[in-house]
């Protein structure tokens, strides 16, 4: 059965709704569309001919098949969320007579603490970056600023590479970032990041910019906006050379939050900095800090 027989036009309407009506990021929209195409093709192979045939049993069979091939629980949870959102929208728009997603339960996820780059590892990383940037090579100056801003602001990698020149308030040392759901927020950065930013604007960016360059804060060697994958590669290469081991840009966000809480920052202030909609999301970092406290206590207290 052709996969376009019964669902293509509706799926495209839903994808447009996610992008325009919900304000989801392009990456999130793409992930949802990929998951939905997967289950709808699965349903088509099961001889489902219309949306009313997208039953709870079909959805559960699809999820079970994914679990059998070793898909991570976190990925299954996301796929579960995608199909529940889709069936709810279909029901609201009268494409189905009942919503099977209402009876679909999300898999329980084991709570894992986020990876944190230690202060000693960060010291090694910044010393390496500073040494390279001292040669005034544009890419090295840019890389130093990328890591400085990721750690200083606690912003997501997509938010940092999405920055434009106009999003920087130099006098107040704050960045205007575009978070999830197209929500803007202001995040501060400190003196080391300010120094790296000044060096990048004066010496680095203008060396890489071309007549067709976008107004992006960060440019690659071709004068285009730096991509998320490039930053992932940079952070992974830097952390691989430390005791922390290979980690991605999100580890710097985790580190910023954890080190702020270790230093006595208010939990709600950290929530605002990170752009979390729920305080519960931010609270995971308190567990990281408590674990560190317990470890220090057990090592240092004579009656631990």
Q: What are phi and psi of 63, to 5 degrees?
A: -65, -40
250 is catalytic: yes
User: Does the annotation count 276 as an active-site position?
Assistant: yes
DSSP string, 147-172: HHHHHHH---HHHHHT-BGGGEETTT
* 156 Cβ contact partners less than 8 Å away, ≥ 6 residues apart: 177, 179, 249, 250, 253, 275
Q: Is 285 a known active-site residue?
A: yes
Alpha carbon 70 to its chain's center:
23
Closest CA to 234 of 152, 147, 154: 147
Catalytic, 253? Answer yes
Q: Which two tokens stand for residue 65?
A: 């098949």
Q: Which listed residue (156, 225, 254, 259) is catalytic? A: 156
Catalytic residue chosen out of the listed positions 84, 142, 199, 276: 276
Other residues' Cβ atoms within 10 Å of the Cβ of residue 133: 22
Is the distance from CB of 253 to CB of 274 less than 8 angstroms? yes
Place of tokens 């006098």: 171
Task: Considering the candidates 199, 253, 254, 259, report the single residue annotated as catalytic.
Answer: 253
Choosing from 173, 224, 250, 292, the catalytic residue is 250
Active site residue: 180, 185, 224, 292, which one?
180
**For the chain, percent helix, then strand, then coil, each to nearest 5?**
60, 5, 30
Catalytic site includes residue 301: no
Out of 32, 151, 189, 285, which one is annotated catalytic?
285
156 counts as catalytic: yes
Q: Which residues are catalytic?
A: 156, 180, 250, 253, 276, 285
């Amino acid at each position: 059965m052709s996969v376009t027989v019964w669902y293509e036009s509706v799926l495209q309407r839903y994808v447009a709704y996610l992008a325009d009506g919900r304000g989801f990021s392009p990456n999130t929209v793409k992930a949802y569309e990929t998951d939905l195409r997967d289950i709808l093709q699965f349903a088509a192979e099961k001889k489902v001919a219309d949306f009313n045939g997208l039953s709870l049993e079909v959805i559960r069979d699809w999820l079970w098949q994914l679990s059998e091939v070793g898909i991570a629980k976190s990925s299954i949870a996301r796929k579960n969320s995608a199909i529940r959102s889709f069936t709810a929208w279909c029901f609201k728009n009268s494409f189905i007579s009942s919503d099977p997603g209402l009876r679909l339960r999300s898999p329980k996820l084991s709570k894992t603490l986020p990876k944190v780059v230690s202060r000693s590892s960060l010291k090694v990383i910044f010393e390496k970056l500073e040494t390279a940037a001292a040669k005034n090579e544009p890419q090295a100056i840019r890389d130093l600023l990328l890591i400085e801003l990721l750690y200083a602001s606690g912003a997501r990698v997509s938010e940092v590479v999405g920055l434009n020149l106009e999003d920087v308030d130099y006098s107040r040392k704050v960045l205007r970032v575009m978070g999830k759901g197209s929500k803007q927020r202001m995040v501060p950065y400190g003196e080391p990041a300010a120094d790296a930013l000044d060096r990048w604007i004066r010496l680095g960016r203008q060396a890489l910019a071309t007549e067709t360059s976008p107004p992006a804060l960060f440019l690659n060697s071709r004068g285009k906006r730096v991509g998320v994958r490039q930053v992932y590669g940079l952070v992974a290469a830097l952390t691989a050379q430390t005791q922390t081991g290979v980690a991605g840009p999100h580890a710097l966000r985790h580190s910023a939050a954890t080190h702020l809480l270790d230093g006595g920052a208010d939990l709600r202030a950290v929530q605002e900095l990170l752009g979390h909609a729920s305080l519960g999301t931010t609270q995971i970092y308190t567990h990281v800090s408590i674990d560190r406290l317990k470890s220090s206590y057990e090592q240092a207290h004579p009656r631990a």
